[in-house]
């Protein structure tokens, strides 16, 4: 992922996902330079960037410095579902941090969990179980 100049965005952007993230989590998940925004553009002091994901999808990221809320917006006319899926496949947003996701994308995958999954131990083979039951090694 990398930043694009703000002039590259020629259409309005619509909200897609809102998440609560600490500044350190934001820097880890979105390793790009965010610029200070005009104080009249957002209801709180914010920084943001136009980001191009590895898949080529463009998203706008706006981070509120007071509420620690990250808003991801998608350019109008872009396919919302595929844009959000591309975001979730590249950025492992913790599931508990997501505050809102647009209902206009029912087919969007839920984000990958940031914690490892618990796996069942491998089942022993039938021969190994018989040997264990007989007490032989």
Domain hosting residue 83, numbered range: 2-113
Instruction: Tell me the helices (H) and strands (E) count for the chain, helix number first.
Output: 3, 7
Domain total for the chain?
1
pLDDT digits (tens, 9 = 90+) for 32-76: 999 999 989 899 999 999 999 999 999 999 999 999 999 999 999
pLDDT digits (tens, 9 = 90+) for 65-122: 999 999 999 999 999 989 999 999 999 999 899 999 888 765 445 555 455 555 555 5
Domain contains 34: yes
Q: Round to whole Å and give the CA distance between 38 and 129.
A: 68
Domain contains 41: yes
| Residue range 110-136: mean pLDDT, rounded | 56
For the chain, give the number of residues: 137
**9 vs 128 pLDDT, higher one:** 9
Q: Please report the pLDDT score of residue 101 as a whole number.
A: 87
């Amino acid at each position: 992922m990398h930043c694009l100049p703000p002039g590259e965005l020629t259409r309005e952007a619509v909200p897609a996902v809102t998440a609560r993230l600490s500044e350190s989590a934001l820097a880890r998940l979105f390793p790009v330079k965010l610029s200070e925004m005009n104080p009249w553009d957002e209801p709180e002091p914010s920084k943001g960037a136009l980001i191009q994901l590895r898949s080529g999808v463009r998203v706008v990221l706006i981070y509120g410095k007071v509420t620690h809320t990250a808003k991801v917006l998608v350019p109008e006319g872009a396919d919302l579902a595929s844009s959000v899926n591309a975001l979730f496949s590249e950025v492992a947003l913790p599931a508990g941090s997501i505050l809102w996701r647009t209902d206009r994308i029912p087919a969007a995958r839920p984000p990958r969990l940031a914690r490892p999954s618990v796996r069942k131990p491998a089942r022993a083979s039938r021969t190994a179980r018989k040997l264990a039951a007989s007490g032989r090694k």
